[in-house]
């Protein structure tokens, strides 16, 4: 595609409208006829409608992701109440805790020092943003999670955000580049090692 076509959709709509106005006003000097422009003019409103639909779906997707995250947080909050009761019961065997998939730390419900989060996953969403999810891996509620990323081919890791949830939406990132993520747990002034690395490129998860 020639580079005089704007890459941004909104800019392209304005460019196209101007092109058609100028072209229709100068058919003779341009050596074209109105029929040459008719197929383009016919598609113009369809493209505008398609773009509006995409923007509406992006907004709906963002809302759906927020709703999903809120529901997950609500479930986790209620789960913690039950898990804390189980952890406080000395009669519950570590093997049974393992079957439940909860931590079996001895000497307390949670580790004294932050430990690396686990099971980090990155998913490219339809709107181009990237959703990150990970396991707190036994770290106590209120533990901060430090999210860092690295853009290929660089090997420098950059701070993205610090959250207490176990999910994050990364938007506004460079397109067409592979992005690596890892997450660290931070408690007071101590920071754990990094989680596993999750990698996403423009085409999806690597």
What is the gyration radius of the CA atoms in the chain, in angstroms? 26
Tell whether pTM > 0.75.
no
Q: Check residue 171 and give its pLDDT.
A: 87
The two tokens of residue 94 are: 């570590």
pLDDT of residue 40: 92
**What pLDDT sits at residue 205?**
42
Nearest to 176 by CA among 154, 199, 202, 200: 202
Over the stretch 37-95, which tens digit does the pLDDT of each residue have?
999 999 999 998 998 888 888 888 888 888 888 888 888 888 888 888 887 788 888 88
Which residues of the chain, if any, have pLDDT below 50? 1, 106-107, 203-206
- Residue 204 has a pLDDT of 43
Residue 161 host element (H or E) = strand 158-163
pLDDT of 109 reads 61
């Amino acid at each position: 595609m020639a580079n005089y076509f704007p890459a941004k959709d909104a800019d392209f709509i304005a460019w196209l409208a101007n092109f058609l106005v100028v072209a229709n006003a100068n058919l003779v000097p341009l050596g074209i006829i109105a029929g040459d422009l008719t197929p383009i003019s016919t598609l113009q409103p369809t493209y505008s409608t398609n773009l509006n639909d995409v923007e509406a779906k992006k907004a709906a997707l963002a809302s759906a992701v927020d709703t999903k995250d809120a529901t997950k947080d609500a479930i986790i909050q209620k789960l913690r109440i039950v898990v804390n009761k189980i952890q406080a019961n000395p009669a519950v065997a570590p093997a049974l805790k393992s079957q439940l998939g909860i931590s079996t730390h001895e000497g307390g419900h949670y580790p004294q020092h932050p430990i690396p989060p686990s099971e980090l996953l990155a998913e490219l969403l339809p709107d181009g943003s990237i959703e990150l999810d990970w396991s707190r891996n036994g770290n106590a509620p209120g533990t901060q999670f430090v999210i860092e990323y690295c853009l290929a081919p660089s090997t420098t890791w950059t701070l993205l955000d610090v959250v207490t949830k176990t999910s994050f939406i990364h938007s506004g990132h460079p397109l067409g580049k592979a992005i690596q993520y890892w997450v660290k747990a931070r408690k007071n002034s101590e920071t754990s090692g990094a989680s596993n690395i999750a990698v996403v490129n423009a085409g999806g998860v690597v």
